[in-house]
Amino acid sequence: MSDDLAARLRKQGLRLTPQRQLILRAVEELGHATPDEVLAHVRSQVSSVNASTVYRTLEVLEELGLVRHTHLSDRAPTYHSTREHEHVHAVCRRCHAVRSYDPAVVAPLVAALGEDGFTVDVGHLAIFGLCADCASEDPRAPGETEASSARLRG
């Protein structure tokens, strides 16, 4: 974990700093978090950490292979630790719940595109749709988007 961070940084001639440790830990603790959320989390522990440091650090951590990002919303990217087992994300458009699935669910997909020479980045996959709860609660016509439902609600 943190040893991992220190080791990987050293191997690249980069330095171990409190910010880098805090930001990595924040990602691990939050599970899935946007740069903004990471910043807030880190700041709740230490006051003076800058947004630009978060952006720069998340980039470094991703290069080191310690975190990854996916797009779990139409907005900011969300980062997660690579210490978790690799997983596929499914996001409910309605309630925004995120469920993780075993990569096995996309094995056939990986195989199919693989025959075409395409190597799927499974960890980056974000699958949007409607979760069981939301589907039963309040069925809507298919094809509706988050935007449209927001507008119809508003």
Q: What is the 3-state secondary structure (H, E, C) of 45-96?
A: CCCCCCHHHHHHHHHHHHHCCCEEEECCCCCCCEEEECCCCCCEEEEECCCC
Q: What is the DSSP letter of 101?
A: E
Instruction: Give dist(CA 77, CA 99) in Å, integer.
Output: 16
Binding at 130: pick from a copy of itself, DNA, none (beta carbon under 5-8 Å per type):
a copy of itself
Give me the 45-74 binding string for a copy of itself, x by CB under 8 A, dash otherwise: --------------x--xx-x--xx-x--x
Give me the 75-114 binding string for DNA, x by CB under 7 A, dash otherwise: xxx-------------------------------------
Amino acid identity at 15: R
Residues that bind DNA in the complex, under the rule CB under 7 A:
6, 9-10, 13-20, 34-36, 48-53, 55-57, 60, 75-77
